[in-house]
């Protein structure tokens, strides 16, 4: 009986020991499939005040193409080499209202959640895309 008690005490003491965890050798895996890629076409401007000055920074016009690839992204006259993509699945009404002060963009059917894709360039946000449907994205630009 003493042996069993000593065994359980030793087991508890060993189980409570604190071993340091070494994370130096861990590497984040590379995404095999990008959240967005290919050639996209600008078909419309959404929001007030955008059509005249829309994206002067980007110099985008209706009919222009936007390219996304693993090695780079081109939006108008802006580009990034070796972008990182961050994908978030967020409740659509909350996100649109808190971020862009609007509840819904007219003319689109919304699911409960919206997919937000951030393109990161040198740890800074290069572009934010809202994936509304499989074949429709919105490039979010602040006024």
Q: Where are the domains of the chain?
A: 34-140
Question: For residue 29, with 0-12 CB atoms within 10 Å meaning exposed, 13-18 middle and 19 or more buried, which class applies?
Answer: exposed
Looking at residue 105, the DSSP 8-state letter turns out to be -
Tell me how far apart the alpha carbons of residues 79 and 29 are, in angstroms, rounded to a whole number: 25
In this prediction, residues 46-56 reach a mean pLDDT of 56
DSSP string, 6-39: HHHHHHHHHHT--PPP--TT--PPPPSS-SS-EE
The end-to-end CA distance of the chain, in Å, is 77
Summarize pLDDT for 62-92 with one digit per residue, the tens.
888 889 998 999 988 888 998 988 888 888 7
pLDDT tier at 49, thresholds 50, 70, 90: low
Note the pTM of the prediction, 2 decimals.
0.67
User: Tokens 């003493």, residue?
Assistant: 2
Does the structure show a pLDDT above 60 at 143?
Answer: no
Are 74 and 66 spatial neighbours (Cβ–Cβ below 8 Å)? yes
In this prediction, residues 42-48 reach a mean pLDDT of 72
Q: What Å distances lie between residue 105 and 59, 97, 101, CA to CA?
A: 23, 10, 11
């Amino acid at each position: 009986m003493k042996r069993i008690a000593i065994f359980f005490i030793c087991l508890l003491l060993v189980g409570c020991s604190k071993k340091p965890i070494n994370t130096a050798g861990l590497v984040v895996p590379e995404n095999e499939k990008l959240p967005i890629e290919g050639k996209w076409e600008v078909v419309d401007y959404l929001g007030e005040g955008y059509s005249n000055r829309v994206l002067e920074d980007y110099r985008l016009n209706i009919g222009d193409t936007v390219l996304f690839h693993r090695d780079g992204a081109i939006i108008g006259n802006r580009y990034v080499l070796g972008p990182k993509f961050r994908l978030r699945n967020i409740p659509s009404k909350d996100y649109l209202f808190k971020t862009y002060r609007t509840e819904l963009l007219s003319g689109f059917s919304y699911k409960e959640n919206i997919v937000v894709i951030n393109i990161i360039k040198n740890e800074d946000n290069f572009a934010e895309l809202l994936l509304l449907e499989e074949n429709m994205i919105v490039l979010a630009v602040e006024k």
